[in-house]
Structure 1
């Protein structure tokens, strides 16, 4: 383990905000601290948690000198991230969330790619999607090239798993960091601005396990996120002189209405089945049937999964 003096430069700064994440925090911390690449500092900010998150952080920080922990009142994700990036000493910034898991070779693979391309400013990768209990649902592959990624971003579509991203710190600062006015779509806005000064890429490799939670989001909040994403796209269209921009945003989080919850449960069942995760397929197919016993779509996913075997294709591990 390398000890980082607060004044010494490091290659990589890992930034992870925490808010009421005690249930998942130890596993997330372990997945970062046990990376194959070890020359990093680990900045963790507790953003006003009311659970045991701070006690867990102080325990870990006492055992690993790479950790730099802080706490304060909840000020929103964009401001917290900007604060952490300003304090970071690394040439590269790795984003991570307190309820997800890093695979052991994540940092090593991303740094190797940055070493090969001096124009690269943002690099993400594929993610295995798991639920709150850790059940695998699917593997989310994303476009690899700058043109594909930026093209999707300009249409309001997802091109990165935010917690998988590594960025050049000087590039993030050059574009002004995360904009608090876009809270809820701050990452999408940042990718659009970063694409205007450098290249964006994804690795085909699975870099993280990304956790989705059963809790739903209100229709009002979903509408606000959609509107903020549109505003970010419109700002980019204006900066780039695009007069015929198309907005093709897709909902990616479960809503609070019954139909949204049913649709997501059926989709999770299909995704799990197609990737060979039979335990997860069964869980979500039965959950959909309990919610809507007369749903033809719910019966279809249950019967198809029972009678057919999927052709499984997965990205690199």
Structure 2
């Protein structure tokens, strides 16, 4: 392992075996930076732990920790405690990939921008079959506005695994807080923003797998409740007041207010909308699946008809 890595990449893994090798490869083939890759196997039962151990035996830059299932927040905080890099970069499993040059571009950005304590980059959405859906690049102005005004959607506009953070700022801000079992990223961005700004590399440097089983779709109600709590905490801090108590049992036990059919309809409608100009036939299939999930909604059916 490098004595002083430039970047410590942090990742939590839970049952990601089918796509884990390519995610690992996307980090371990990054050029232009000295790195360590700290991965926490969060109680996987599908062989992910064994895949990680075999990969670590081949590449000493990969450090693998195993734990009973405790969730992403605990996994990332544990990984961060071992990190030795000047910068901390996030990576997600589940089919995501960092594109070539991602880490080097963000290191260069943070080296040049002394006002910035973290940096994001552009990303592209892929569906569960790796079909390209769309690109997204957020401007620094948009990000700064959201973090400053605490208004949506700007405050939620930073893709968690696309970020690199100055390690000293991460620790000064307090790192990830265990109470935030979801929306841990929003809580961290708001605390980091009180120490500096967020830079944005205006390039597509991350592949984000957008699928129906993602946590942001499975636990939407929890995500929104915890995000709103993070905003209330930020408002209190910025007004010189104590944060509201982080008594979150009611949030942790919250049932999603969207049915599985509603989530399915929204997912397929989004994918169809992304594909309608480029691949009308595939878009039609997704619009029809959205309509079948919620037959009382006719907009997807109309969109399907218009693709003929």
| TM-score normalized with structure 1 length | 0.83
Note if 1:172 corresponds to 2:167.
Answer: no
C-alpha separation in 1, matches of 2:90 and 2:216: 26
Aligned residue among 107, 121, 130 for 1:125:
121
Map 1:298-317 onto structure 2 (within 5 A): 298-306=300-308
Shift of 1:80: 1.6
Question: What's the counterpart of residue 313 of structure 1?
Answer: none
Shift of 1:178: 0.7
Map 1:25-36 onto structure 2 (within 5 A): 25-36=20-31
Note if 1:264 corresponds to 2:267.
Answer: yes
C-alpha separation in 1, matches of 2:292 and 2:98: 34
Choose 120-129 or 32-41, whichever is displaced more.
32-41
1:109-154: CA deviation from partner (whole Å, max 9, x where unpaired): 1111111111211111121111222122222232323523414655
Question: What's the counterpart of residue 147 of structure 1?
Answer: 144
Sort the Cα spacing of 1:216 and 1:9 in 2 relative to 1 into closer, same or farther, 3 A: closer
8 Å Cα contact 1:127/1:209 also seen in 2: yes
Question: What's the counterpart of residue 231 of structure 2?
Answer: 233
Question: What's the counterpart of residue 248 of structure 1?
Answer: none
Map 1:1-317 onto structure 2 (within 5 A): 4-5=1-2, 8-99=3-94, 100-145=96-141, 147-151=144-148, 153-155=150-152, 157-215=155-213, 221-241=219-239, 255-273=258-276, 276=278, 278=280, 280-291=282-293, 295-306=297-308
Secondary structure, aligned partner of 1:232: helix
Shift of 1:13: 0.6
Secondary structure, aligned partner of 1:200: strand
Sort the Cα spacing of 1:30 and 1:283 in 2 relative to 1 into closer, same or farther, 3 A: farther
Secondary structure, aligned partner of 2:15: coil
| TM-score normalized with structure 2 length | 0.85
Sort the Cα spacing of 1:195 and 1:73 in 2 relative to 1 into closer, same or farther, 3 A: same
C-alpha separation in 2, matches of 1:181 and 1:109: 32
Sort the Cα spacing of 1:237 and 1:119 in 2 relative to 1 into closer, same or farther, 3 A: same
Secondary structure, aligned partner of 2:86: strand
Secondary structure, aligned partner of 2:212: coil
Question: Which consecutive unaligned segments of at least 5 residues does structure 1 have?
Answer: 244-252, 307-317
Q: How many residues align?
A: 291
C-alpha separation in 2, matches of 1:38 and 1:81: 21
8 Å Cα contact 1:136/1:277 also seen in 2: no
Secondary structure, aligned partner of 1:202: strand
